[in-house]
C-alpha cells in the first residue's frame, strides 16, 4: 500500500503544496524562495528517505517567517496523512549527527501527542539570508502538525550552518526509523491503547 499524501494550504500569507512518499528514495523538488531553507529541506528528504515535493509562495516582501512556519505546518500535515493513523510503524526513532565541530541529537515519538523540546543555540543571527530564529519555528510547526514528540539538542558546535544542517539531518534520520513498517505490530498502532 502506498504511503503517500498531498496537502494544499492557501492563506493570505502563503500558498503551499506539499507531496510526500514515505517509501521513496529521498528525491526532492523544493522551491520556497528561501535558498538556505530549500537546501535544508532537500537534506531532510535525502536523509529521511522520503520523496518530497514542496512548492511555497509566501509574503517574502515582509519577511521569511510565514514562509518557513507554514511550510512546516503543511509538511507535518502531509507526513501525518501519509501515516494514516500511525498504524504498523516503529513509532520511535533517534539519531546523532556529527558535522565537523558540531554534534546534534534527536529523539522522536510519533505518538499523536505533539511536543517540542528545543535545545539549540546559534552563534549568528543569520545563515545566508535566513534568520536562525526561524529554525525553531519550522520544527515547532512540523512537530505540532505531524503529531510528534520531538526532542532536538545541539550538544556542541560553533558554526551556525553546521548547527542548522545537523539538526535537519538528525530529525530526518530519526523520522526515517520511526516511520518504518514494523512487522511485529501486525499493522496495528504501536500502543497499548490500540490507537494513537
* Helix ranges, 49-133 (H): 65-83
In-domain check, residue 151: yes
Q: Which domain holds residue 48?
A: 4-185
In-domain check, residue 194: no
Phi, psi (rounded to 5 degrees) for 60: -65, -15
In-domain check, residue 192: no
CA gap 145, 77 in Å, rounded? 5
In-domain check, residue 193: no
Give the per-residue pLDDT at 194.
Answer: 73
Give the per-residue pLDDT at 187.
Answer: 83
Give the per-residue pLDDT at 3.
Answer: 97
In-domain check, residue 191: no
Judged against a pLDDT cut of 90, whether residue 21 lies above it is answered with yes
pTM of the model: 0.96
Give tens-digit pLDDT for 52-103. Answer: 999 999 999 999 999 999 999 999 999 999 999 999 999 999 999 999 999 9
Alpha-carbon separation of residue 2 from 9, 70, 183 (angstroms)? 22, 26, 16
Give the per-residue pLDDT at 86.
Answer: 94
**For the domain that residue 14 is a member of, what is the CATH number?**
3.30.230.40
Work out the percent of the chain whose per-residue pLDDT is above 70: 99
Give the per-residue pLDDT at 137.
Answer: 98
Please tell me what DSSP assigns to residue 89.
Answer: B
Mean pLDDT (the chain, rounded): 96
In-domain check, residue 49: yes
In-domain check, residue 96: yes
- Count of domains for the chain: 1
- Helix or strand (DSSP H, E) at 163: helix 160-178
Give tens-digit pLDDT for 110-143. Answer: 999 999 999 999 999 999 999 999 999 999 999 9
In-domain check, residue 195: no
pLDDT bin (cut points 50, 70, 90) of residue 191 is confident
pLDDT bin (cut points 50, 70, 90) of residue 2 is confident
Amino acid at each position: 500500500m502506498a504511503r503517500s499524501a498531498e496537502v494544499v494550504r492557501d492563506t493570505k500569507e502563503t500558498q503551499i503544496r506539499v507531496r510526500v512518499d514515505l517509501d521513496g528514495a529521498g528525491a526532492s523538488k523544493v522551491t520556497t524562495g528561501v535558498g538556505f531553507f530549500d537546501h535544508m529541506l532537500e537534506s531532510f528528504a535525502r536523509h529521511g528517505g522520503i520523496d518530497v515535493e514542496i512548492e511555497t509562495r509566501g509574503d517574502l516582501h515582509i519577511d521569511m517567517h510565514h514562509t518557513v512556519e507554514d511550510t512546516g505546518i503543511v509538511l507535518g500535515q502531509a507526513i501525518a496523512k501519509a501515516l494514516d493513523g500511525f498504524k504498523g510503524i516503529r513509532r520511535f526513532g533517534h539519531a546523532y549527527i556529527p558535522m565537523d565541530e558540531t554534534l546534534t541529537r534527536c529523539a522522536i515519538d510519533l505518538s499523536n501527542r505533539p511536543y517540542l523540546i528545543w535545545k539549540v543555540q546559534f552563534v549568528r543571527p543569520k545563515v545566508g539570508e535566513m534568520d536562525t530564529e526561524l529554525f525553531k519555528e519550522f520544527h515547532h510547526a512540523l512537530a505540532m502538525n505531524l503529531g510528534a514528540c520531538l526532542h532536538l539538542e545541539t550538544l556542541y558546535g560553533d558554526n551556525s550552518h553546521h548547527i542548522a544542517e545537523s539538526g535537519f539531518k538528525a530529525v530526518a534520520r530519526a523520522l526515517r526509523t520511526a516511520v518504518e513498517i514494523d512487522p511485529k505490530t501486525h499493522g496495528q498502532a504501536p500502543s497499548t491503547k490500540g490507537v494513537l
